[in-house]
Chains A and B, each alone.
Chain A
Amino acid sequence: MRTCREITETIEKGGVKRLSIQDRLAIRIHLRICKPCTAYSKDSKIIERLLRRSASRMDNYTFTEMEKSKMINQLTDINK
C-alpha cells in the first residue's frame, strides 16, 4: 500500500512523464478512499491553472541607464 505522500508525488510524476499502468491504478484506487489526496489532486490542477493565467502579469526587470553605461565601459576594455 502506498502512502499519501507517494500517491501525491506520483500524481506530479504524471505531469512530467507518462505514468505506468501500475501507477495509474494505484492513484485511482487510492483516490477513491482518500479525501486529502483527492483534494490535493484537485488543488494541484487549480495551482497550475492559476500559474498559467497569471503568467503575463510577471514583472520585467531593467538595468538603469547608469548601470548600462558602466557595463559598456567595462566590456569595451575587454573587447579591445
Chain B
Amino acid sequence: MRNQPNIDAAQLVKDHSDYLLTQAMRKLKDSDLAKDLVQDTFVSALNNLENFEQRSSLRTWLTSILNRKIIDHWRKAETRYTDPASLFFNQEDNNGHWLENNTQHAEMKTIESEMIRQESYSILHECLDKLPAKWRGIMLAKYFDESKSTEVCKDFDLTPSNLWVIIHRAKLLLRECMQTNNP
C-alpha cells in the first residue's frame, strides 16, 4: 500500500476552506451554494485521498476538485444551451446599427480617468456583479487572474468561440452599465 498522506479534516478546513470559498465566490454569486460546494470538495477529498498525487500541492488538488464540482453545477443548470447572444440581441440587430445608440453616453475614456483619479472601482465591480455568474467568473479569470485562454476554457467548460462570444457580450453589458451608472 502506498504511503497515505496524513490529512485530517480539521487541518484541511483550517488551512484551505477560506481560500476555496474565495475561489468559489469568483465563479458563483450565491454564497450558500459556494459553501456547499466547498464542503462537497472536502468530502470528495477525504474519500479519495489515495488519488492525491503528492507531486502537486494539496491546495492545487483541492482547487481542481472544486473546479470540477462547479462545472458539474453549471452543466446541470444549463440543461438547455442558449446562445448568450440571443439574450441580448434581436434578429434585426444582426445587420443593424446596434452599436450606434451608444454614442450619446458618457465616454469610457472619461469614466476611466475618473475611476483612476478617485481610485474607486466600485461602479465596475457593481456592474460585474450584474453579469450572469458564469460570465462574471470568466471575466475575472481572464482579466484579474490573467489566466491563459485555454485554461479559462477548461475551467469553464467552453469552446474558444464560446469564450470570445461571452467576452464580447460581457464587455457590451459592462460598458452599458458603467455608462448609465456613471454619476
A-B contact pairs, 6 of them (CB 8 A): A12-B168, A17-B160, A53-B116, A53-B121, A63-B35, A71-B13
Q: Which of B14, B109, B125, B160 contacts A42 (CB 8 A)?
A: B109
Q: Using Cβ atoms and an 8 Å threshold, which residues of chain B touch A63?
A: 13, 17-18, 21, 35, 38
B69 sits at the interface (CB 8 A):
no
Q: Which 4 A-B pairs have the closest CB atoms?
A: A36-B99, A54-B121, A75-B9, A51-B143
What is the CB-to-nearest-CB distance from A64 to chain B, in angstroms, rounded to a whole number? 10
Q: Using Cβ atoms and an 8 Å threshold, which residues of chain A touch B109?
A: 42, 46
- Beyond A12-B167, A75-B42, A78-B46, whether A5 also contacts B121 by CB under 8 A is no
Q: Chain B at the A interface: mostly helix, strand, loop or mixed?
A: helix
Interface size class of A (residues with CB under 8 A): 35 or more
Chain A residues with a Cβ under 8 A of chain B: 3-5, 8-9, 11-13, 15-17, 35-37, 39-40, 42-44, 46-55, 57-63, 67-68, 71-72, 74-76, 78-79
